[in-house]
Structure 1
Amino acid sequence: MSSPNPLLAGLRGRCPNCGEGRLFEGFLKVAPRCGSCGYDLAKADSGDGPAVFVILIAGFFCAFLMLFTELKFSPPVWVHIVIFLPLTLGVCLGLLRPLKGAMLAAQFSNNASEARHD
């Protein structure tokens, strides 16, 4: 059996070690252990990395669409609010979990750990 690609497994929300078990317990809470292979997932910490990438990606995408809509159609402000507030929220929530999984998988594949100065 070949080992899975950790980044693809992380994007799917699966264990980066085996590719089978669940990476998350809830929406963003990392499971303490993989249910399939028993790999310790509690030691992984993605920090603020996924949020930064979500802000950059979603901000670029949504701001581009808002600017395009404003320049092309010149709608009233309430149209921007009705269309782009839910769109921005959906894009942000849709990207957050896969990007957090990819960041955790990147830690796994690079054997990254926190720096200690003991």
Structure 2
Amino acid sequence: MTDTVDPERPMRSALWRGWRCKCPNCGEGAMMQGYLKVRDACPQCGEALHHHRADDGPPYLTLLIVGHVVGPLMLWAYVQYEPSPLIFILIFGTLSVVMSLWMLPRLKGLIVGVQWANRMHGFGI
């Protein structure tokens, strides 16, 4: 039995590449096929990406971050300006939806990058 040492997978670059929705291995190929579907393999380097298990992580993190940003903004805007309910709902509802839609695929890529760097769920094979 031979002892093989796997090359190190740097977490920082995997996180950055995942955030940009790029392959965590090469950083060139698109990780996503569509809005949230992760490709089975990277089109550039061929790295298998089908092992990921992002599941409920990205929506949870999106809700956590958006809620912690929009919540205090809502409180500040209400106290400072006392806007009408319709304007308040339109502004902060739109802000919440836009932030959520922008963050969701990036956080999914981030989680796939973490799993790849840590060789989780079959990424180490």
Does TM, normalized by the shorter one, top 0.5?
yes
Q: Match for residue 110 of structure 1?
A: 118
Residues 69-88 of structure 1 mapped to structure 2, 5 A cutoff? 69-88=77-96
- Name 2:22's counterpart in structure 1: 14
User: Which runs of structure 1 show a deviation greater than 2 angstroms over 4 or more consecutive aligned residues?
Assistant: none
**Mapped pair 1:92 → 2:112:** no
What's the secondary structure of 1:68's corresponding residue? helix
Q: 2:54 corresponds to which residue?
A: 46
For residue 79 of structure 1, report the CA deviation from its aligned partner: 1.0
Counterpart for residue 58 of structure 1? 66
Partner SS for 1:108: helix
Q: Which runs of 5+ in 2 are unaligned?
A: 1-8
Percent of aligned pairs sharing the same letter: 36
SS at match of 1:53: helix
Cα deviation, 1:60-105, whole Å, max 9, x if unaligned, reads: 1111111111111111110111111111000111111111100000
Instruction: State the shift of 1:108 in Å.
Output: 0.2
5+ long unaligned stretches in structure 1: none
- How much has 1:15 moved relative to structure 2? 0.4
The alpha carbon displacement at 1:32 in A equals 1.0
Match of residue 3 from structure 2: none
> 1: distance between equivalents of 2:102 and 2:49?
22
TM-score after normalising by structure 2: 0.85
Matched, 1:37 2:45: yes
TM-score, L = length of structure 1: 0.90
Partners of 2:52 and 2:29 lie apart in 1 by: 15
Q: How many residues align?
A: 112
